[in-house]
Structure 1
Amino acid sequence: MDDEEARFRQTGWPGLRARLFHTYFLLRRPMTLGVRGLVLNREAGTVFLIRHTYVPGWQMPGGGVETGETMQYSLERELVEEGNIEITAPPTLASLHFNRQASRRDHVALFLVESFRQTSPKKPDREIAEAGFFPVGDLPAETTPATRRRINEIVFGAPASSYW
């Protein structure tokens, strides 16, 4: 056996086998990951919420983590897109949740964002019908149950749930 064949035996087949198994499990058991940001102005006692054009209710801004993105980068991108909000200090990963309403494989990472600036109020567009800051004790009536639970957990210290 020459050096090239030995190298293939050491790296080729095992590496190829690992890639094949990884691809099989990716197709067989795909998992999705999303991020949400609880943008909290503690001094004013307000949180930033959005209302999409395509789903009912007020909720925290966020979205899916795209291939090649970190969770933090995805959060930063979504906050700019959905709220004209720029993070000015690293956010805190507050909790991870299984989102069984979305699918059997969906997970959501919730970040607490307390250091930010809004470049301008978010105007309605094709994705965002409305957006704004609301008092934590006086959220819009249409605020989603999951959004209310996350705010209660982080702001008021309610027990955290593993489920979104």
Structure 2
Amino acid sequence: MSRASLIDALQPLAGQVRSLATRLWGGTTLGVRAMAIDEERVLLVRHTYVSGWHMPGGGVHAGETAEAAARRELFEETGYEATGPARFLGLYFNPAMAGRDHVAVYHMSACVMRHAFRANREIAEIGFFPTDRLPEGTTPATRQRLTEFFEGLPPADHW
């Protein structure tokens, strides 16, 4: 096996180890999710290191606002750039991440594809899905955030 092949093979494991270390020894963490909706379709991603379909997102970097992180993660994971205003939808406590994690969700009102998506070490695939026909494996939290948005419900406290 070549060095590059070995690195590619170990990349998902490295992500899981980093996530576990943060959960066990890190301080409070802040993540973001971008709810990008095109008419009645939502943009979702499937990661290489965790099962299910999720809204694009990730961690907020030092010196970065949550909204800027949501825009960055949307672009990095999918190739779509948020071109319109972002609307803050809610801040959720995620107890699954060692009781320290919070997730901010933003609705991106307009997005434009800036480069074609290619599967990589982090994201296996992306897709726009009708909100009434989400793919099998869409996470319960993703489904709940979409229900809150489309039914005008207040955000829940927990992810």
TM category (shorter chain) comes to 0.7 to 0.9
Q: Give 1:4-153 correspondences, 5 Å limit.
A: 30-42=27-39, 45-153=40-148
SS in 2 for 1:48: strand
Shift of 1:30: 2.4
- Matched-pair contact (CA < 8 Å) for 2:34–2:57: yes
Tell me the distance in 2 between the aligned counterparts of 1:122 and 1:69: 25
- Matched-pair contact (CA < 8 Å) for 2:82–2:108: yes
Between 1:29-38 and 1:91-100, the stretch displaced more is: 29-38
SS in 1 for 2:89: strand
Structure 1: which 4+ aligned runs deviate by more than 6 Å? none
User: Structure 1 stretches of 5 or more lacking a match?
Assistant: 1-27
Shift of 1:58: 0.2
Q: TM-score, normalised by structure 1?
A: 0.78
Larger-gyration structure (1/2):
1
User: Structure 2 stretches of 5 or more lacking a match?
Assistant: 1-24
- Matched-pair contact (CA < 8 Å) for 2:89–2:155: no
How many pairs were matched up? Answer: 135
Q: TM-score, normalised by structure 2?
A: 0.80
Tell me the distance in 2 between the aligned counterparts of 1:146 and 1:132: 18
Pairwise CA RMSD:
1.6
Identity %: 45
